Amino acid sequence: MRKILIVGAGQSGLQLALGLQAEGYEVTLMANRTADEIRSGRVMSTQCMFHTALQHERDLKLNFWEERAPRIEGLGASVAGPPTPEGPHTRAIDWVGRLDGYAQSVDQRIKMAGWMELFEQRGGQLVIHGVSVSDLDFFTQSHDLVLVAAGKGELVSLFGRDAARSPYDTPQRALAVSYVHGLGPRPEHPDYDAVRCNLVPGVGELFVMPTLTTSGRADILFWEGVPGGPVDAFQGVTDPSEHLATTLELMERFTPWEYARATKVELTDAGGTLAGRYAPTVRNPIGELPGGGLVLGVADVVVANDPITGQGSNSAAKCAASYLDSIVAHGDRPFDAAWMRDTFDRYWATAQHVTKWTNAMLAPPPEHIVELLGAAGALPPVADRIANGFNDPSDFEHFFYEPEKAAAYLASVGA
């Protein structure tokens, strides 16, 4: 029986550990917190997962919360126009596209704690301990394969930045998340749940999405602010109530149509806020240890995109599924550097589309993308196609990036 060690108990690490366990591998999982500590701790992400990523969980029979979590059937975009002397910002563009397969968001405190307990129940070895580079040197001698799925801390330094695939070297957004109860319904299409993406040019973005959290149905208010701008207002804010108050003040100023349904919200719990920032980075997938051993990076350890396109958990699930297939297909052969490179390249074939799209959305949109977003308000097929691109970002290659392709697409839909 082949022995595999996974460091990190997030979406990718746990999904991969449980998948390998089901295939008969002897898996050790190392995490820095217990399931109870995760469950009672601070929220970790927004984690809206679309159809393909959810299907990977279903394939492994890990979709324990599917019947309880809100079914997100639409995805909408609003673009704020400039404020006028008569009043605040209004929406210059507004539409909602329908998803072919519903999306869902399950608070990772619920999911990761539950998956960790399942891993142990199925006989996996769970070790609660921080891991250093020197520890990995030892583990590569005692395991057939070591995977690093912990996207923060010392271990990430093992994987050098791939400058050719990383156009940004500083954070492009300041992030602030609040989980709330009491958000009112969307005035448009209140009969089904949808993610709302509100773009305020030059300022940032506000995302609003339904979720399942530790206290039941809730909604997430997620600001992405341009660094140094008015939404970059959460540094040094440690009090959860102040965090929420700042969130609402910014909503009232820049997205009053969303603020109108948020006047009675309250935080779900004391751990229901999160703030931070990081530079989107692609890294080399193989880490070489001082003793000569090799480790393979997983998901956002090696491909960390800004959350502006909501792809973090989706990419983690897709990476875990791809790596699982590569490991099983390799049989009893050594997990050498060539295999590690091939395994990452197989995942990158999908991940490159996420990185290209995300980096494009971080920049001011060119005229043809503004025209596409505007056309979606009048042409439902365009709105639906953009919405479904969140599930399959590779489709954007065909109509989104190049003005000629965008014009040809709009002409075909208009005809």
Helix (H) or strand (E) holding 127: strand 125-128
pLDDT, residue 349, reads: 98
Contacts of 345 (CB under 8 A, 6+ apart): none
Nearest Cα neighbor of 226 from 196, 247, 197, 205 is 205
Is CATH 3.30.70.890 the classification given to domain 3-63+107-168+280-361? no
pLDDT, residue 87, reads: 61
**pTM reported for the whole predicted model:** 0.96
Contact 111, 260 (CB under 8 A): no
Where in the chain is CATH 3.30.9.40? 72-104+172-276
3-state secondary structure of 310: coil
* Paired strand residues for 77: 95, 197
pLDDT, residue 191, reads: 87
Where in the chain is CATH 3.50.50.60? 3-63+107-168+280-361
3-state secondary structure of 33: coil
Contact 322, 52 (CB under 8 A): no
Backbone angles phi, psi at 154, to 5 degrees: -60, -35
Q: Report how far residue 72's alpha carbon sits from residue 39's, in angstroms, rounded to the nearest whole number.
A: 24
pLDDT, residue 86, reads: 64
CATH architecture, range 72-104+172-276? 2-Layer Sandwich (3.30)
* Residue pLDDT tens, the chain, 415 long: 799 999 999 999 999 999 999 999 999 999 999 999 999 999 999 999 999 999 999 999 999 999 999 999 999 999 998 877 666 678 999 999 999 999 999 999 999 999 999 999 999 999 999 898 888 988 999 999 999 999 777 899 999 999 999 999 999 999 999 999 999 998 877 789 999 999 999 999 999 999 999 999 999 999 999 999 999 999 999 999 999 999 999 999 999 999 999 999 999 999 999 999 999 999 999 999 999 999 999 999 999 999 999 999 999 999 999 999 999 999 999 999 999 999 999 999 999 999 999 999 999 999 999 999 999 999 999 999 999 999 999 999 999 999 999 999 999 998 6
Residue 230 CB-density burial (10 A; 0-12 exposed, 13-18 middle, 19+ buried):
middle
Residues in the chain: 415
